Structure 1
Amino acid sequence: MRAGSLLLLLVLLALPARAQDALVAALSQDAVEVTTGFTGAQLMVFGSTEAPIGPGGDEVVVVVHGPNRPTVVRRKVPVLGVLWVNGPSARFADVPGFYFVAGTRPAWQLLPEVERHRYGLGLDALPLVSTGARSPAFRAALLELEVLSGLWVEDSQPVEIAGSRLFHVRLPLPAGVPTGDYRVEVLLVRSRQVVARQELAFRVDRVGTADRIASVAEDQPLVYGIACILLAAFAGWFGSVVFRRS
């Protein structure tokens, strides 16, 4: 048995014994601290099942939602052939700041479309309601932007199985992950139905200098803007002095 699988087994044995539960899951940590040098983090979702996992048996799907926020997608349009200005736009009221889904197999292979949409499993199943421009191109553009940013991740890696009843998956959080509360759902699928579900949570918070800078930017935007201008001016002056001497 690999060292990682052995560690996972030991952690699972430490969980409360609840033999009657078909699914038991946990997180490697329930808090992530964002500092000025934050380059991303990685959590682990792990657990065990009552019945064997794999083809012909139970399957596991993990879905993670970050804090929602409104998002506007705009289309640039040309003016006089030389200028580009904002054109039609679509406003999405509740867009997940982070989204991750993975399973022992892709969710579309495990569940009917109705069930997938009920649990929001898959980028095509996200309930992205918009106002303004109605073209589906705006939804497609939003999906592309979020995927490229690394904030929306679908089936980038499978949920791994160890010892037929143990499972785990690594949850990658990019450097630009938003702060707030995150909800993790672990679903047990049997015969194309969700038969057990466990909800977990963790929080991402700024700490130290990063928190103070963010607080000033939100509470005193004028002061923050002036400070940025002064800092940029000083950096330009200092750079000119250094290069002049060299």
Structure 2
Amino acid sequence: MRFLALLFALLLTPLSALATGEEVVLGLSSDRVSITTSFDGSEILIFGAVKRETPIPEDPLEIIITIAGPSNPVVVRRKANRFGIWVNAEAIEVDAAPSFYAVATTGAWNDVLSDTEDLRHKISIGRAIRSVGAPMEIRDAPEFTEALIRIRRNADLYQMLEGKIVLDEQTLFRTAIKMPADLIEGAYATRIFLTRQGEVISQYETTIDVRKVGLERWLFVLSRQQPVLYGLMSLAIAIIAGWGASAAFTALRNR
């Protein structure tokens, strides 16, 4: 029975880990991000070390860290000029795209990971987006995905941070990733990959919990669980605000 248990454990152990004896010991400055009414973004410090059972190999070690927000379908539309008016024309629904995605590396992207390993683990921004198919009449479907990436990069929702991980003595590593203000709630999957010569030799996964708190949380829950009450309250606030502004303007005019 002991032999069978040992054999079963060996089958479950990745061959890369057996070959290199290297694994990640990770730390986070915070595993929870709280969104309040004054929330304007957060910087997550990710640090850790590489635990080894064997001497450091001669090939240089590289590290990749990714943080991915919850994925949702996204409709990407392309505008066209129709009779002098710009209107929505063609559209493609991307099956799943992370609401936030950041990739940090120790070096240049092409030096730290091969295309084959990227395809296997879906690490790069383009590979993290799942787009299965497109309407037959749209022949340039990849351009829609590229447009989505470009828009979210401009909003800092997608980040490619080459060379932003500091690695000391092939053992200690650290990086900081800025998370913007317009985050959505959910579990943000965090992955750390150790690579040598472009091949993944070990990986580690954890999560960062992003939640609304305080008044922001109360309003969010109210809008979902009591939409009628939320609507009436919003209407009442709008009426009061409008009346207050009108009264203030009238008072100033009568002076």
Task: Please give the TM-score of this superposition, normalised by the length of structure 1.
Answer: 0.80
Q: What one-letter code is carried by the residue in structure 2 that aligns with 1:106?
A: A
Alignment-derived partner of residue 244 in structure 1: 250
Alignment-derived partner of residue 91 in structure 2: 89
Output the CA distance in 2 between the equivalents of 1:33 and 1:121.
26
Alignment-derived partner of residue 219 in structure 1: 225
Cα gap change, 1:164 to 1:195, in 2 (>3 Å): closer
1:41 deviation in Å?
1.2
Cα gap change, 1:175 to 1:88, in 2 (>3 Å): same
Largest Rg, 1 or 2:
2
Alignment-derived partner of residue 60 in structure 2: 57
Cα gap change, 1:73 to 1:227, in 2 (>3 Å): farther
Alignment-derived partner of residue 24 in structure 1: 25
Alignment-derived partner of residue 159 in structure 2: 153
Task: Please give the TM-score of this superposition, normalised by the length of structure 2.
Answer: 0.78
8 Å Cα contact 2:105/2:164 also seen in 1: yes
Cα gap change, 1:47 to 1:206, in 2 (>3 Å): same
1:203 deviation in Å?
0.8
Q: What is the identity percentage for the equivalent residue pairs of Structure 1 and Structure 2?
A: 27
Gaps of 5+ in 2: 1-20
1:151-230 aligned within 5 A: 151-155=157-161, 158-230=164-236
Output the CA distance in 2 between the equivalents of 1:23 and 1:188.
8
Equivalent position SS for 2:193: strand
1:229 deviation in Å?
3.6
Q: What one-letter code is carried by the residue in structure 1 that aligns with 2:237?
A: L
Output the CA distance in 1 between the equivalents of 2:36 and 2:222.
15
Q: What one-letter code is carried by the residue in structure 1 that aligns with 2:68?
A: H
Output the CA distance in 2 between the equivalents of 1:32 and 1:126.
22
Gaps of 5+ in 1: 1-19
Equivalent position SS for 2:183: coil
Query: Cα deviation per residue 1:139-164 (whole Å; 9 max; x = unaligned)?
Result: 12211221122211111661012455
Output the CA distance in 2 between the equivalents of 1:140 and 1:112.
21
Query: Cα deviation per residue 1:135-191 (whole Å; 9 max; x = unaligned)?
Result: 322112211221122211111661012455211011211111111111111111112
1:22 deviation in Å?
3.7
Alignment-derived partner of residue 125 in structure 2: 123
1:130 deviation in Å?
4.8
Query: Cα deviation per residue 1:8-55 (whole Å; 9 max; x = unaligned)?
Result: xxxxxxxxxxxx6443222222211111111111111111124669x9
Alignment-derived partner of residue 100 in structure 1: 102
Equivalent position SS for 1:57: coil
Output the CA distance in 1 between the equivalents of 2:80 and 2:203.
46
Alignment-derived partner of residue 36 in structure 1: 37
Q: What one-letter code is carried by the residue in structure 2 that aligns with 1:154?
A: M
8 Å Cα contact 2:43/2:178 also seen in 1: yes
Output the CA distance in 1 between the equivalents of 2:153 and 2:180.
12
